[in-house]
A and B are shown apart, each in its own frame.
Chain A
Amino acid sequence: MSDPLLSVEDLRVEFHTEDGVVHAVDGISYQVDAGKTIGIVGESGSGKSVSSLTMLGLTRTRTARIEGRIMFEGKDLVALPDEQLRGLRGNDVAMIFQDPLSSLHPFHRVGWQLMEAVLTHRKVSKSAARTRAIDLLELVGIPDPQRRVNGYPHEFSGGMRQRVMIAMALANEPKLLIADEPTTALDVTVQAQILALLESLQQRLGMAIIIITHDLGVVAEIADEIAVMYAGRIVEKAATREIFTAPEHPYTWGLLKSIPRLDTPRTDELEPIAGRPPSLIKRPSGCFFHPRCPYVRDAHRRIDPQLEPLPGQPEHRVACLLASNVRADIWRGLEAGEAPSTLRKLAEPAHAAAVGGSEPATTEERG
């Protein structure tokens, strides 16, 4: 097994603002292999977009402090000088964004924007770049590419525009594609088409994909591995199947249980996660999720859990102070349709074999 294509190691991104230090990303680590897809899931404000923008160096502003390493093909992207990083952008590492209407320049033709993606990194003639632009449009499934290459972004439908963005990202056959909420602005049927397109392109080009979304349905479809982010940290990371069949973090449970299902009675209410995402300036003490967790114990207000592998399952990591067997019991209960309030007693010391699970020796300082 060769080295992973991308290895994020303890990445931290802080923004020093007038209101305080915003801890947007607080020590995340993950890896992606070529040809594989990792899905990063979380609510708004979880730090998922900032982490991906940082990969391309797009968060290098006056107020930002970036620490950690992002190893890509032997180079540390965090330490790489601006000019070299620019050479990678749109070339070996490409990114697509959420709203294709506002992300494409309204005044330039689609062909011009595609050609620019090519000409920025390759010394080819204008006509060769134009041919490539037409080929790219065909690759992403846009009909009549010869004509549409002269069109303006507002002349395309939403799904077509996202295809154009994908075409632009693929212009130089990137090894890594970062897709930041690529389907959020599209309707469901178009969503499915775009995801299918991404999968087929991945197979053809062998590229790795990082897909960022708040929609678990999207990652179920396309990701090999899922990392769940909360308040700038990864709280659970596992293979997709594991996340859906045996999740072990209360936040993940909350996300899964809040998805509407076709097979539940209409009279049943949706179960949202109580509370709101925390401020990234003044984060909760102890476990970040404790104010919203139905299974919170006293110790959880003081102790900050680390991301630890499950016993016997090194690929499945969770950051939670409850014991693994307790969590498994709770999940079984949730699957059976019981409410979190009834399951809370499972977390109690009287019931659990060991409370707190693998408690770290020290308490973390809050920023």
Chain B
Amino acid sequence: MAQYVIRRILWGIVLLLLVILLTFLVFYVFPAANPAALRAGRQPSPQVIAYITHELGLDKPLYTQFFEYVKNLVLHFNLGYSYYSQESVLSLIVSRLPATISLTVGAVVLWLVVGIPVGILSAVVHDRQLAQKTRLKMLLAWIGCALIPLALIALAGSTWGSIFFFLWGLVGIVILISYFTKKGDFMDRSAMSVALAFVSMPVFWLGLIVLYLFASDIGKFPILPGANTYVGLTADPWKWFTSLLLPWIVLGATQAAIYSRLLRGSLIETMGEDYIRTARAKGVKEPRVIWRHGVRAAITPVITVLGIDIAALLGGAVLTETVFDIPGIGRLNYAAIVNTDIPIVQGTVLLAAMFVVVANIIVDILYAYLDPRVRY
């Protein structure tokens, strides 16, 4: 196993060098704004541009630039300096990383907490057939629940009441459809329909909708801090937390949907296996059969996907960061691309690639830990 890890790490380094080279090539080959021209101010003369080009080392051949970059990186841990602001790329990245990490960690926790139980429950009940009586009872209960928003309007004003009416209506659509469909289990089908809806939504669309509805500055029902409210954890923990709630919900909802569907499919397949029948034949209680025998086997694809997803997010959730104006790596990368600020792009791309490489190695090791049949 140790040999395997070392081999993977070495190949990972090779891969990272390749990533750096490719990033160089992309900016060299594809037309982009001339960084020297961007730095030179208004109506620059060719001499000024030539001077800046030389200062930035852009007139050296590509392979020299590449070699110097790698040398700096490996020997001095220096990622270069921004063409735009002359700041050290490393310090820029380090200053932006906490925001991305906060966004990632919170979203991951949220989507696992929601996605995994929903996935398990859906799988467990998917072939249950509720009696007509039970479905009718659910329908009546939902109609009865209309009282809640009505009461809220009467007591607390129309804002909260309308929110609950809206939610009641959404739930109602689901209940009505499930009431009239005979096949499959009501809870399972409604959960998976909702999940499908969230899977289909673009993250930025959902983000904008959520801001439009709930942001404290511009929302129809202002209940949570909106865009551009992020502060660091150390600066103001409460504000940090509340400013991230909407981004977490947006990012978490779309991902929870994916994970619940994934786990549901995996668990339904697992529960048909022979060893589940053996566990039941041993007299093991059903919840334990589902959890220790079923989920234990069904969770492996979820873990694999989770590792990759985390890596991808740590590389910068550009869409979410842009919609909510969070100062993270994603936005840093995007701004740098627009400004042809190549050193920053190099740095963020390298960081993202490093996360992916590390995540893949960790996921593979974890897989061997979960499935003892896998040995390296």
Taking Cβ atoms with an 8 Å cutoff, the residues of A that contact B are 56, 58, 62, 86-91, 94-95, 97, 99, 102-108, 116-117, 120-121, 152, 154, 165, 168
Contacts and interface: CB of A to CB of B under 8 A. Distances in A.
Nearest to B284: A120
Given A86-B285, A120-B284, A105 B279 contact: yes
A91 B283 contact: yes
Nearest to A61: B127
Given A89-B280, A116-B282, A105 B297 contact: yes
Contacts of B370: 107
Contacts of A108: 296
Nearest to B279: A105
A86 B279 CA distance: 11
B277 A97 contact: yes
Contacts of B128: 62
B373 A152 contact: yes
Contacts of B371: 106-107
Given A107-B296, A107-B297, A154-B373, A58 B275 contact: no
Given A97-B274, A105-B275, A106-B275, A90 B372 contact: no
Interface of B: 127-129, 273-275, 277-285, 293, 296-297, 370-373
12 contacts: A62-B128, A90-B283, A94-B282, A95-B281, A97-B274, A99-B274, A102-B274, A106-B371, A107-B296, A107-B372, A121-B283, A154-B373
B183 to A, nearest CB: 11
Given A56-B281, A106-B372, A107-B296, 6 more contacts: A86-B285, A88-B283, A89-B283, A103-B275, A107-B371, A120-B285
A116 B283 CA distance: 10
B372 A152 contact: yes
Contacts of B273: 102
A86 B283 contact: yes
B139 to A, nearest CB: 22
Nearest to B129: A62
A88 B281 CA distance: 9
Given A107-B297, A107-B370, A117 B282 contact: yes
Contact of A103 (B278, B283, B296): B278
When A and B form their complex, which 7 residue pairs have the shortest distance between CB atoms, in order from nearest?
A90-B283, A90-B282, A89-B283, A102-B274, A105-B275, A152-B372, A103-B274
Nearest to B276: A105
* Residue from B127, B128, B273, B277 with most neighbouring chain A CB atoms (10 Å): B277
A58 B281 contact: yes
B279 A94 contact: no
Nearest to B370: A107
A106 B274 contact: no
B369 to A, nearest CB: 10
A84 to B, nearest CB: 11
Contacts of B280: 58, 89
Q: Which of A56, A88, A107, A117 has the most CB of B within 10 A?
A: A107
A114 to B, nearest CB: 10
B275 A62 contact: no
Nearest to A154: B373
A106 B278 CA distance: 12
Contacts of B283: 86-91, 120-121
A86 B281 CA distance: 8
A120 B277 CA distance: 15
Contacts of B281: 56, 58, 89-90, 94-95, 97
A97 B128 CA distance: 26
Nearest to B294: A105
A171 to B, nearest CB: 8
A104 B278 contact: yes
A91 B282 CA distance: 7
A91 B278 CA distance: 13
Contacts of B277: 58, 97, 103
A219 to B, nearest CB: 22
Given A62-B127, A154-B372, A104 B275 contact: yes
A168 B274 contact: no
Given A62-B129, A97-B277, A99-B274, A106 B373 contact: yes
Contacts of A89: 280-283
A168 B275 contact: no
Nearest to B372: A152
Contacts of B274: 97, 99, 102-103
Nearest to B299: A107
Nearest to B280: A58
Contacts of A168: 278, 282
A117 B371 CA distance: 22
Nearest to B296: A107
Q: Name the residue among B127, B274, B293 with the largest chain A CB count within 10 angstroms.
A: B274
A65 to B, nearest CB: 15
Nearest to A91: B283
Contacts of A88: 283
Contacts of B297: 105-107
Nearest to B273: A102
A108 B370 CA distance: 9
Nearest to A94: B281
Nearest to A62: B129
Contacts of B278: 97, 103-105, 165, 168
- Interface-centre pick from A88, A97, A99 (highest chain B CB count, 10 A): A97
Contacts of A152: 372-373
B117 to A, nearest CB: 21
A89 B373 CA distance: 29
Nearest to B128: A62
Contacts of A116: 279, 282, 284
Contacts of A104: 275, 278
Contacts of B279: 105, 116
Contacts of A165: 278
Contacts of B296: 105, 107-108
Nearest to A57: B280
A234 B2 CA distance: 60
